[in-house]
Amino acid sequence: MPVPETTTMPETTMTPEKTAMPEPTTTPEKKADAISAAIAELQVLLGGRLSTSAAVREQHGKDESWFPGHDPDAVAFPNSTEDVAAIVRICAKFGAPIIPFGEGTSLEGHVAALEGGICISLANMKKIVAVNAADMDVTVQAGVTRKQLNEHLRDTGLFFPIDPGADASLGGMTATRASGTNAVRYGTMRENVLSLTVVMADGQIIRTARRARKSSAGYDLTRLIVGSEGTLGVITEVTVRLYGIPAAILAGVLAFDSLEGAVESVILTIQSGIPVARIELVDEESIKAINDYSKLDLPVSPTLFLEFHGTEASVAEQAELFREIADDHGGGEFQSATRTEDRNKLWQARHDSAYAAMTIRPGCKVFASDVCVPISRLAECIHETKKDLDEIAMPTPILGHVGDGNFHVVFVVDPDSEQDMADAKRINRRLITRALAMDGTCTGEHGIGHGKMDYLIAEHGAGVAYMRLLKTAFDPQNIMNPGKILRI
C-alpha cells in the first residue's frame, strides 16, 4: 500500500501545484465577449427567465460561508431538463462558464462565479416527478428541497432520511455528496442516489442508471456525478431511495461531564453495533448558543443528541444499551423526546446551531472545518484540536456527526479581520493535517469548492491526476463550474 501522501503537511503543499501552468487560451476580454454573446442568445431563448439584475446576480454569487461572493453575469431559470440542455448548448458554443445553483447553502464557495458566466438556478425545477411507493424510491427535479420532499411524502409512510441541516436542494445535496445527522444509519447521498438525469458539458442529456437497486452494468456514472460539484454536468433530476417511517422513534439528549466521555460513548456505541439513527455531538459552547437562539434550557455541558429508529421493543433495547455505555462515561440523565413536536424542536435546534453560532458575534460569518476520521481516532483528533483552539480568541463551537467520525469546528470569524482569518486558516490546516495523518479526509460532507483545492491534492496525491483527466475528458473547455475542485 502506498503510504498516505501526507502525514505532515508543509506550508508548501498548500500553494498551488508546482506543475507548469499553461497560458490561458482566452484573454479576459475574449471571455467577456464570449459571455456577452451567450447572454444575447440566452435572452432570445429564455426571455424573462434570464436575469441580469444586480440584485439577482449578487444573490446567486455567494453561499452561506464566509467566502466573498463572485457574481455571475446572468442568472437563468430553466423549467425543464430540455431547457437546461438548451442553455448549456449555448454556453458551450461560446465557451461561457456555467455555475449550477440550488439553494445556495453550500460552505466552500461552490456557487461563486469566479470567472463570471451564467448561473443556472434550479429554482423553477421543483416538481416531484414520480413517487414509486412500492419500490421505495422517488424521482424529483433537482430544485426540490429535502423538506419539500418529506412534506410531499407525508401520507405515504415513507421518508427521505438524508439531512444536512440546511433545507438544501436534492440537486445540491447530490453535487456535494451531502450527508448529515442520519448518515450513520442510512448512509450519505453516495449510498442513496439510485439514478440521475444530467446535462453534460456538451449539452447531451444522460440518465446515469435505471431504478434497479443494484447493477453491474459498466462504469458507475451515478457515483461519478455524486460529489462532482457541478464541474462535470448539471444535475436536473434525482432518483433517491426512500425508507419506511419507523414504527417507533425515540429521540433525546444526554449531557456528559466531559467531552472525552461523550466521544468515548459514541465510539463504543458504534463499535457495539447499536444501530443508532442519529448520534450528534454538541459541545458546551454550542449548547450555550443553542439555548439562546432556540429558547431552550439544556444543561450547559458537552451533550449528545440521539435518535433511535425501530419497533417499540427495539428502540427501547437500543436506548438501554446506549444508557449503559453512557453511565460508564460520565453521562447524565437521558432526556427523551417522544412527541413529534418535541423531537422536531430538538432537531431544529441542532440544525440551527450554525446560525446560533453566528449570533455569538453579530455580523460575523461561519468558517466551518469538516474533517472525518476513522472512529478509533476520533477522541484523539478532537482532543488535540481542542488544545489548538485554546490558542485563539474567537468563538469556536464544535459540532459533529460523530457516529461517522465527522465533526465541525465552527470558527465564528469576522471576515474583515486579518487576525481572525489567519487564525481560522492556521488551525484548520493543522486540523486537516492531523486528520489526514489519521487516514481521514479533509471534508466529510461539505465538499472542496474553491476553499479546499490544495487539501484535495494533499489528500489524494497521485489520484488527482486522474481526476484531472476525467474532468478534461468530460469538459474539455472547462466551462462547468470552473475553479472548483481542481485547477485546470
Q: Which of residues 40-79 bind a second copy (CB under 8 A)?
A: none
Interface region with a second copy, contact rule CB under 8 A, candidates 59-67, 293-301, 340-348, 370-378: 370-378
Using rule CB under 8 A, residue 473 touches a second copy: yes
Q: What is the CA radius of gyration of the chain?
A: 23
Q: Which of residues 258-317 bind a second copy (CB under 8 A)?
A: 267, 270-273, 311, 313-314, 317
Cα dihedral 393→365→454→115 (10° resolution)? -150
- Cα–Cα distances in angstroms (integers) from residue 26 to residues 12, 34, 305, 475, 477, in the given order: 29, 10, 52, 16, 11
Using rule CB under 8 A, residue 197 touches a second copy: yes
Which residues have a Cβ under 8 Å from the Cβ of 7 and sit 6 or more positions away? Answer: 436, 437
Size of the site for a second copy (CB under 8 A): 99
Using rule CB under 8 A, residue 183 touches a second copy: yes
Using rule CB under 8 A, residue 477 touches a second copy: no
Task: Determine which residue in the list 41, 115, 137, 423 makes contact with a second copy, applying CB under 8 A.
Answer: 137
Interface region with a second copy, contact rule CB under 8 A, candidates 53-61, 354-362, 412-420, 455-463: 455-463
Beta-carbon-side half-sphere exposure of residue 162 (alpha carbons within 13 Å): 24
**Start-end of H helices in 298-452:** 312-327, 340-351, 353-360, 378-389, 418-437
Q: Residue 410: phi, psi to the nearest 5?
A: -95, 95
Edge to edge, what strands does the sheet with 74-76 contain?
50-51, 74-76, 118-121, 98-101
Q: Which of residues 225-264 bind a second copy (CB under 8 A)?
A: 226-228, 232, 237, 243-244
| Smallest gap from residue 422 Cβ to a second copy (A) | 24
| Smallest gap from residue 246 Cβ to a second copy (A) | 8
Tell me how far apart the alpha carbons of residues 19 and 36 are, in angstroms, rounded to a whole number. 32
Interface region with a second copy, contact rule CB under 8 A, candidates 38-46, 70-78, 128-136, 345-353: 128-136
Q: Which of residues 414-453 bind a second copy (CB under 8 A)?
A: 435-436, 439-448, 452
Task: Determine which residue in the list 7, 52, 53, 215 makes contact with a second copy, applying CB under 8 A.
Answer: 215
| Smallest gap from residue 329 Cβ to a second copy (A) | 16
| Smallest gap from residue 216 Cβ to a second copy (A) | 4
Using rule CB under 8 A, residue 169 touches a second copy: no
DSSP secondary structure code for residue 405 in this structure:
T
Q: Which of residues 385-414 bind a second copy (CB under 8 A)?
A: 404-406
Query: In this structure, how many other beta carbons lie within 10 angstroms of the beta carbon of residue 229?
Result: 25
Q: Residue 20: phi, psi to the nearest 5?
A: -60, 125
Residue in the structure block whose three cell numbers are 462565479: 113
Using rule CB under 8 A, residue 185 touches a second copy: no
